[in-house]
Amino acid sequence: MADIITVNNLVEVYSDGTKAVNDISFNVKEGEFFGFLGPNGAGKSTTIKILTTLLRKTSGSAIVAGHDLDKEPKDIRKVIGVQSQETAVDGDLTGKENLILQGHFQQLPGAELKQRVNELLKLVELEDAADKRARNYSGGMKKRLDLATALVHRPRLLFLDEPTTGLDPQSRAAIWAYLEKLNKEEGTTIFLTTQYMEEADRLCRQLAIIDFGKIVVSGSPAELKRQVGADSIKLSLENCTKDKPSAKDILSNLEGVTSVIDSEECLTVYAKNAGLIVADIVRAFDNSRIRLSSVSFSSPTLDDIFLQHTGRRIRPEELVKTPSVMLGGRRR
Amino acid sequence: MTLFSDTRYLFVRYLKKLVRNPILLFFSLFQPIIFLLLFTQLFSSFSNLQGFSKATGGASSYLEFATAGILLQNAFGSALQSGTSIVLDLDTGYLQKMLVTPVSRYAILLGRLTSDAFRVVVQSAIIIALAYALGATVVTGVGGILLMLFTVAFFGLAWSGISLAIGLKTRSSETVFAIGGFLTFPLLFMSTALTPKLFMPNWILSVSNFNPISYTVDAARVLMINGYDWATVLKAFGVIGLIAVVTLGATLYLFRKVVS
């Protein structure tokens, strides 16, 4: 399959000097379900804004759906669908009217539009609320309507900026199901950003983990987990600051330990077989009078990958509504 | 070119938004009524002053004199809302949602401006109808009324440009209202909107002679009281046209910065 997005050395420097996107390169294949996973402020939304023609890049190049971002933004707009982080539906219009207006923006002819709108209302299960004003919808319903408006013209490429942030688990699961269906059945390429590793793990076949405007690591979720190559054991010590250096020494010398890194519990150890090595750790600490306060272990998760590469965990934050943040960083 | 159809879709969107907000709709329709009743009642004894008829070019009552001024005052208030609506679309992300589609960029502005002009026409028609009901007449008849509506709507468009430009520049509805509200009263009272020139102190008269409001009001007023005085009407169009070029030019410039 050919690339539908090709990005080379993309940089975005805001007017205050912040490097929101710091020299990233990646590509997305047609039909792919591609994800950007990273914490708040990592540069995910900025990248989407650039690729959807909302924000001008500082440097680098990008080809989206066969069109150069600088030269043919109009052609790009015809074939992409975008759901931004802030749910943007017109509360004074009904769900149906929101969809119809969006169809008009996309220049769909009347008969086709009518049919498409009914189809979408069914898809996102808003048929019963179709003629109610969107103002009265719940948060989950608004998100679903917003998603439907992005789909009205059957975009080849769909950009979703944190589509499930702030949703309850039930609504989230519903959105996940639509997206999987869309990708599988209609072949729509999806570019999604998220700060939820479960979401990235469940949906994305290709993933780039992004932090401080840089791509830290990329690959399929399975590949990435294989790279960690080990289970993780999280250790808390009663006196972390005092005992940490000696604990690290002891751990690195144990057989079977692949790496030891600082984490918020105190230390995280990666080892081939966590079940066996825990006993060794407890014994070794006991001998050295280091007091453990808790031990837990698990198979590798995407969070472990993030932790291994950045020394921090992804900490999903519920979004605080920041009005007009979307165009706020535009260079003047 | 989708400019025309996109403008129409957005025109309808804005009208729906207005009609579906009962409070906004109420104030849109009743504000002009209140203005007309309040001002013409408050200053009704103006017409007892010596020289009133001469000063007003032959108005039979203060109501007949002031109707044109009230039309302008109303257009002022309505035009302020253009700027706040664009700030709202920026804040909610709806503007951005439009910008990632192929929708015509200029239609976003034109849809807003045309719906505002339409609203001003409806409001002005209400004011004129009410003035009729209270005993005023328009000497030029239906043709003159249409020309009055056009003049006021044209002025409203030009004035919308100011609030749109402030809204786009500051992205704050409060600022739009603060600056717009601050401009409204001095400009209105230092014009011929509510007071005949002969009754003005000299310094206000000097300001009034340079005040674009005066030119616009004078045009609407001659159509109401005297007849088709084309010199006055065309002078007003010239003045409004100049304002429109400046305010809408600024709006366009700022809008392009936002959307490009």
Q: List pLDDT tens digits, range B221-239.
A: 999 999 999 999 999 999 9
Report how far residue A54's alpha carbon sits from residue A42's, in angstroms, rounded to the nearest whole number: 18
Residue in B13, B20, B258 closest to A101 by CB: B13
Per-residue model confidence (pLDDT) at position B143 = 96
pLDDT (average), residues A139-160:
95
DSSP state letters, A184-245: HHS--EEEEEES-HHHHHHH-SEEEEEETTEEEEEE-HHHHHHHH-SEEEEEEETTHHHHHH
pLDDT (average), residues A174-203:
93
Yes or no, beta carbons of A326 and B257 under 8 Å apart: no
Yes or no, beta carbons of A104 and B260 under 8 Å apart: no
Q: In whole angstroms, how far apart are CA B165 and each of B231, B240, B255? A: 31, 17, 8
Q: Fill in the DSSP letter of residue A109.
A: -
Q: What is the mean pLDDT of chain A?
A: 88
Query: B103: which chain A residues are within 8 Å (Cβ-Cβ)?
Result: 105
Q: How confident is the model at residue A325 (pLDDT cuts 50, 70, 90)?
A: very low
Q: How confident is the model at residue A317 (pLDDT cuts 50, 70, 90)?
A: low
Reply yes or no on whether the pLDDT at A323 is more than 50. no
Q: How confident is the model at residue B14 (pLDDT cuts 50, 70, 90)?
A: very high
Closest CA to A161 of B97, B95, B104: B97
Distance spanning both ends of chain A, measured CA to CA: 39
Q: B6: which residues sit within 8 A by CB, 6+ positions away? A: A104, A105, B103, B104, B107, B108, B111
Per-residue model confidence (pLDDT) at position B160 = 93
Reply yes or no on whether the pLDDT at A179 is more than 70. yes
pLDDT (average), residues B101-128:
94
Query: A54: which chain B residues are within 8 Å (Cβ-Cβ)?
Result: 96, 99-100
A273 vs B211, residue with greater confidence: B211
Can you say how many angstroms the Cα of residue B121 is from the centroid of all Cα atoms in its chain?
9
Per-residue model confidence (pLDDT) at position A8 = 96
Reply yes or no on whether the pLDDT at B202 is more than 90. yes
pLDDT (average), residues B74-101:
90
Beta-carbon neighbour count of residue B231 at 10 Å?
Answer: 9
Reply yes or no on whether the pLDDT at A91 is more than 70. yes
Dihedral of the alpha carbons of B10, B16, B21, B26, in degrees to the nearest 10: 110
Q: Which of residues 5-24 of B touch A (CB under 8 A)?
A: 5-6, 9, 13, 16-17, 20-21
pTM of the model: 0.84
Reply yes or no on whether the pLDDT at A223 is more than 90. no
Yes or no, beta carbons of B103 and A105 under 8 Å apart: yes
Q: How confident is the model at residue B1 (pLDDT cuts 50, 70, 90)?
A: low
Yes or no, beta carbons of A149 and B97 under 8 Å apart: yes
Q: How far is B98 from chain A (nearest CA, A)?
A: 7
SS (H, E, C) B158-193: HHHHHHHHHHHHHCCHHHHHHHHHHHHHHHHHCCCC
Residues of chain A contacting B, Cβ within 8 Å:
52-54, 56, 74, 77-78, 80, 82, 84, 86-90, 92-93, 97, 101-102, 104-107, 133, 149, 323-324, 326-327, 330, 332
pLDDT (average), residues A287-300:
84
| Any A CB within 8 A of B101 CB | yes
Tell me how many degrees the CA angle A90-A101-A169 measures, rounded to the nearest 5: 50
Reply yes or no on whether the pLDDT at A321 is more than 80. no
Partnered with residue A19 across adjacent β-strands are A13
Per-residue model confidence (pLDDT) at position A307 = 80
Residue of A nearest to B101 (CA): A77
Yes or no, beta carbons of A88 and B20 under 8 Å apart: no
Reply yes or no on whether the pLDDT at B246 is more than 70. yes
Share of chain A above pLDDT 70, in %: 94
Per-residue model confidence (pLDDT) at position A282 = 87
CB-side exposure of B226: number of CA atoms within 13 Å? 17
- Per-residue model confidence as pLDDT tens digits over B120-175: 999 999 999 999 999 999 999 999 999 999 999 999 999 999 999 999 999 998 99
Yes or no, beta carbons of B100 and A101 under 8 Å apart: no
DSSP state letters, A55-103: S--SEEEEEETTEETTT-HHHHHHHEEEE-SS----TTSBHHHHHHHHH
Q: In whole angstroms, how far apart are CA A177 and each of A171, A180, A189, B110, B167? A: 10, 5, 15, 40, 41
